[in-house]
Structure 1
């Protein structure tokens, strides 16, 4: 694992002169973060300390475990095998300790804390508004922090930057817990008064229509675009945007169409009309979390509220 840092790396394994039993949870957290981020500076930023403080802690850990932990290799700084093992064990120890600090009972009406969810536009438009209303009603002292996930969602979850990852992705690795929230599909939207607003699209006509393509900053590719490519077609893209957020304004009074998830189209207001997409490309929206929060009463409550929200959405579709 490559590291970006400015520290002195020992040329030889240091002699052990720090008692391993003096290593505390804070030091293990430093080791886990540096190993996970691949950066001393990012670990320091996350912990709210200076980089020199992180370097000092790593130096103590080198001496305690009689191992350099991070060494020069091919012009880069990499973790040793023992460091990899220690970081994995530290993550488990810290997760267990975190569970020990949690209250056995959870009352949302009096609970305080911060829930961080990594997600993108779809979840922010379709799911998060209802979660905000639920939390303000049932758990007014809980704070909700929303961060973008894109292609780094799994990493942000594993590094503890988020408590829950929500999105249309699969996380097959071990160490993650997952739950399907709902299934959606793509639909075509057109502005009010568009010539096709009451029409039916075949695949060839659909591909030829001038349209707005949502690129998600090139960090995510919609499933319908993959199916278009698989059929050997090319969409008539005349506008590319990183998010569906401004599409209703962009297509107003034009001949443009756009393809978005059906539930996103449903919250876009009365200025757009929907037409069945010839490539609906169904996809699942998943929720993932890690061992760190798996048994936390607060996080279990939030996950259950998310499940209730999507169950209501699915019921409304029926």
Structure 2
């Protein structure tokens, strides 16, 4: 490997490089760095000379990363996180702090667990920006890259579990949401009546069968899906104005029914009722000892604990 004299390298350029690799757009990178676009363009030119590589190249959909740049993303994120921890003050004062607090979760989890987080941030850290990333993605990869501080998910990391810490924040199960005049609102809720109903499905990714379809298949039955949505925003109106029913986590069904008198919730048929499954708050080892991240975790857990009554949920992975 060719040796490089670090005294000849402007390490400030690495901060610009991280923004460029993250944003893949010069103007957006400049905005995130509070720099002018010409200054970032000049920095990109110097970075290309330093790495002897174009780093960002034009493609049909805009700028894309070169193979060298792709290889730099994770090492660079780790390096900057380490440098930040090295020079950061050991204490964190939220009232005076600036910067971004980034959490990833689907809009379902955001609706259930995050309603109290925004006012808590505004009260305790008024100069900080809260970013809730709800686009379906590999949140574990984003945590590992340092692009998220926290993530809420019911999933397990597919690899590298030792990198992550987690805390159980809730246990949930599925219930049926429907209009109050739906025939299924009157018991009994049998498997036959349930499977014969017209169902709505919220498919975030648009790929693969829903978990309920897999459970029905194990019972040797199938259901008729009459409506498929890509988010939870229109679930209430879809139920209230039709005979469509949705099977959703009970935290959400009860929240929607409490807000809309046209809706009721009912338990699933006995053959489909499952054990309660956990929801986790995840964070990466890189942020475990960071003062700002520790404060953010405590604040989020406090807001969730105030909203949800549950027992001992400690499950902090080393």
> What TM-score, normalized by structure 2, do the two folds share?
0.75
The 3 A distance-change label for structure 1 pair 196 and 130 is same
The number of residues matched between the two structures is 292
Match of 2:132 in 1: 146
Cα distance in structure 2, aligned partners of 1:220 and 1:160: 29
Cα distance in structure 2, aligned partners of 1:185 and 1:90: 40
Cα distance in structure 1, aligned partners of 2:177 and 2:9: 59
Shift of 1:242: 0.9
Asked if residue 293 in structure 1 is aligned to residue 287 in structure 2, the reply is: yes
Asked if residue 23 in structure 1 is aligned to residue 14 in structure 2, the reply is: no
Alignment of 1:80-159 (within 5 A): 84=71, 88-159=74-145
Cα distance in structure 1, aligned partners of 2:166 and 2:46: 34
Shift of 1:172: 4.1
Match of 1:284 in 2: 278
Match of 2:51 in 1: 62
For the residue of structure 1 that corresponds to 2:168, the secondary structure is strand
The one-character-per-residue Cα deviations of 1:212-238 (angstroms, maximum 9, x if unpaired) are 111114168653343234444322111
| 8 Å Cα contact 2:17/2:44 also seen in 1 | no
Asked if residue 202 in structure 1 is aligned to residue 190 in structure 2, the reply is: yes
Asked if residue 251 in structure 1 is aligned to residue 239 in structure 2, the reply is: yes
The 3 A distance-change label for structure 1 pair 87 and 143 is closer
| 8 Å Cα contact 1:69/1:79 also seen in 2 | no
The one-character-per-residue Cα deviations of 1:58-116 (angstroms, maximum 9, x if unpaired) are 433335xxxx698xxxxx99746x984x6554333211111134332233344333212
Aligned to 2:168, which of 170, 173, 180? Answer: 180
| 8 Å Cα contact 1:181/1:307 also seen in 2 | yes
The 3 A distance-change label for structure 1 pair 159 and 107 is same
Match of 1:6 in 2: none
Tell me how large the CA RMSD over aligned residues is: 3.7
For the residue of structure 2 that corresponds to 1:300, the secondary structure is helix
Note the residue ranges of structure 1 that are not aligned, 5 or more in a row.
1-12, 71-75
| 8 Å Cα contact 2:81/2:146 also seen in 1 | no
Q: Which moved more, 1:127-136 or 1:24-33?
A: 24-33
The 3 A distance-change label for structure 1 pair 165 and 42 is farther
Aligned to 2:212, which of 224, 242, 246? Answer: 224
The one-character-per-residue Cα deviations of 1:266-302 (angstroms, maximum 9, x if unpaired) are 2112321111123344432222223443222222112
Alignment of 1:11-50 (within 5 A): 19-29=5-15, 41-42=24-25, 45-46=28-29, 48=31
| 8 Å Cα contact 1:192/1:252 also seen in 2 | yes
Match of 1:10 in 2: none
Cα distance in structure 2, aligned partners of 1:177 and 1:149: 22
For the residue of structure 2 that corresponds to 1:301, the secondary structure is helix
| Moved segments of 4+, more than 6 Å | none
